[in-house]
Amino acid sequence: MNIILFGPPGAGKGTQAKFLVKKIKGYQVSTGEMLRNEIKKNSIIGKMITDDISDGKFVSDEIVNQLIKTYIFDIKKKNRLIFDGYPRSLSQAKNLDILLKDSNQNIDHIFFLNVNKSVIVERIKKRKTEENRSDDELDTILKRYDTYMMTTKPVLDFYSKNSNFHEIDGSQKITEITSKIEGFINL
C-alpha cells in the first residue's frame, strides 16, 4: 500500500506517517527529513536547500525529485511507501505518477490534512521548543505556509478528483485524525 499525506507545514503529516509506518510496516518518505539530512551533511545540495528555506521558499522540484527517486525504486520498499510532504507542486505530482508507473506501483490513498494558519502557528511554536528545529522560526513558517497554500492548490485540485482522495480536518486531536485514516484504509 502506498499513501500520500499532504498538508501545510505543521499539519501533522510526520506524526501520521510514523503511525502508518508501524501499522503497515511501511517506509516513511519524508522530503523534509531528506532535506535536513542534506543540510547536516553540508553538501552542495544542502547549501542550496538552506538558502531556499531561509528565504521561505520551497526547495526546487529538481532536487526533491532526485532525492525521492531512490526510495521509489528500492525493491524492498515497493508498495510500502508513505509519502510525507511530497508532492508539494503539480510538477512533483506528475513526476511521482511517472516514477510510480515506471516502477509498477500506484497510490492507494491520498490524505489531505487541512489546517488553518492560526492552528499551524501554535503547533510550530510548540514544536520549536520541543524539537528545536532550525526551520521552525515563526517568520519562516508564515512564509512557508503562504507559499504552501499558493503552490499546492494545483496539487489539491489534481488529486481531489481521485476516488482515493480524503480530506481530513487536521486541527483535530492526533488520535482523532489517526482514527479517520484507519477507517479509510481499513486497518
Q: Give the closest residue to 88 by CA, choosing from 36, 144, 39.
A: 144
Q: Give the up-direction half-sphere exposure of residue 110: CA atoms within 13 A in the CB hemisphere.
A: 20
pLDDT at 187: 58
- pLDDT tens digits, residue range 116-152? 888 888 877 777 777 776 665 777 777 878 888 888 8
- pLDDT tens digits, residue range 151-164? 888 999 999 999 99
Q: Is the pLDDT at 168 greater than 70, yes or no? A: yes
What is the pLDDT of the chain when averaged over all its residues? 88
Q: Are 7 and 114 in contact (CB under 8 A)?
A: yes
- pLDDT tens digits, residue range 89-112? 888 999 999 999 999 999 999 999
Q: Record the cell numbers describing residue 151, joined without a space.
A: 503552490
Q: Strand 165-169 and strand 81-84: pairing?
A: unpaired
Under DSSP, is residue 26 helix (H, G, I), strand (E, B) or coil? coil
Q: Give the closest residue to 29 by CA, choosing from 37, 43, 17.
A: 17
Of 159 and 57, the structure prediction assigns the larger pLDDT to 159
The CATH number linked to 35 is 3.40.50.300
| Top mean-pLDDT range of 6-10, 65-69, 79-83 | 79-83
Q: Is the pLDDT at 39 greater than 70, yes or no? A: yes
Paired residues of 112 in beta bridges: 6, 167
Q: Quote the number of domains for the chain.
A: 1
* Global pTM value: 0.82
> Domain limits at 131?
3-185
pLDDT at 55: 79
Cα–Cα dist 89/93, whole Å: 6
Q: Are 115 and 172 in contact (CB under 8 A)?
A: no
pLDDT at 133: 64
- Respond yes or no on whether the N-terminal peptide bond of residue 87 is cis (omega within 30° of 0): yes
